[in-house]
Amino acid sequence: MGKRECESAPDWRQGGLPGADPAGGSGALESGPESGVGREGGSSLLEVQIAGALLIVALSGIAGSLLSSASLHQSNAEVGLATQAAREVIEEFRTMTIADAFARFNSVAQDDPLGAGTAPGPRFTVPGLTPLPEDRDGAHGQIFFPVKNASDQQFSETPGNVFGLEVWDLDLDGKVKTSVTVASARLAPVVVRVRWRGTTGAMSVELRTVLSDED
Ligand SMILES: [Ca+2]
Ligand SMILES: [Ca+2]
């Protein structure tokens, strides 16, 4: 059951990126002043597409142009670690259906395929990176699905829930609805974010992509 990442480049916006739920992660993303890249840095180092996934890197603290060579080297190494970790998560998604990915990596334990509490959930650690103080669980990574509420088994096709990826009709029924059961979804926008305390301040990397059960 193959899954692929959407090839189309999303029309994402710099602001209003996924917000954090440091304690537990859930899925539901919120926009606002506390959210993701917009909060953590004004400067986006690079925006490139990697294997169909949109990569967003941000830093705060010192502007990139002022970094010493050593700091820049260290920052690049950290970004590499974070990006690789996020890519591995997405690669793992591609080996399973949307419903399986959701059950394994959402914040709800009850739907874990092998029994409650046996699945990884939405948080993960990246060896070699220092967690941010606010990530009190020590995890750097978080996975976001387009759910309205953490406990939902429903995706939402509304704009705020698709991460700016311009994917609306998740169940391919020709309608945009506030609730679509996960089981009926053929497409699922996901965000995998890694954030950490870098040598120059808070850093984050996000990969955004669209999972598909179409093929
Ligand atoms: Ca689960
Ligand atoms: Ca629909």
pLDDT tens digit sequence for 52-91: 567 777 665 455 556 678 888 888 899 999 999 999 999 9
Q: Stretch 165-178: mean pLDDT, rounded? A: 86
Determine the distance separating the centroid of ligand 2 and the alpha carbon of 158, expressed in angstroms: 10
Q: Say which ligand is closest to the CA of 177.
A: 2
Q: Say which ligand is closest to the CA of 170.
A: 2
Determine the distance separating the centroid of ligand 2 and the alpha carbon of 124, expressed in angstroms: 31
Asked whether the beta carbons of 1 and 96 are under 8 A apart, the reply is yes
Determine the distance separating the centroid of ligand 2 and the alpha carbon of 78, expressed in angstroms: 39
Whether residue 9 is predicted with pLDDT greater than 80 in this model: the reply is no
Give the whole-number percent of the chain exceeding pLDDT 90: 49
Q: State the distance between the two ends of the chain, measured CA to CA, in whole angstroms.
A: 7
Determine the distance separating the centroid of ligand 2 and the alpha carbon of 186, expressed in angstroms: 10
Determine the distance separating the centroid of ligand 1 and the alpha carbon of 116, expressed in angstroms: 7
Q: Say which ligand is closest to the CA of 180.
A: 2
Helix/strand/coil for 205: strand
Determine the distance separating the centroid of ligand 1 and the alpha carbon of 77, expressed in angstroms: 32
pTM: 0.73
Query: What secondary structure letter does DSSP report for 186?
Result: S
Determine the distance separating the centroid of ligand 1 and the alpha carbon of 114, expressed in angstroms: 10
* Sheet strands (E) in the chain: 4-5, 43-50, 53-59, 123-124, 141-144, 154-155, 180-181, 187-198, 201-212
Determine the distance separating the centroid of ligand 2 and the alpha carbon of 116, expressed in angstroms: 30
Determine the distance separating the centroid of ligand 2 and the alpha carbon of 161, expressed in angstroms: 13
pLDDT digits (tens, 9 = 90+) for 105-142: 999 999 999 999 999 999 999 999 999 999 999 999 99
| Residue 22 zone, left/alpha/beta (φ > 0; ψ -120 to 50; rest) | alpha
5 DSSP β-pair partners: 211
Q: Which residues surround ligand 1, an ion (CB under 5 A)?
A: 103, 106, 108, 111-112, 119
User: In angstroms, rounded to a whole number, what is the distance separating the alpha carbons of residues 122 and 104?
Assistant: 8
User: In angstroms, rounded to a whole number, what is the distance separating the alpha carbons of residues 211 and 12?
Assistant: 17
| Residues ≥6 apart with Cβ < 8 Å to 92 | 101
Determine the distance separating the centroid of ligand 2 and the alpha carbon of 164, expressed in angstroms: 16
118 burial type by CB count under 10 A (0-12 exposed, 13-18 middle, 19+ buried): exposed
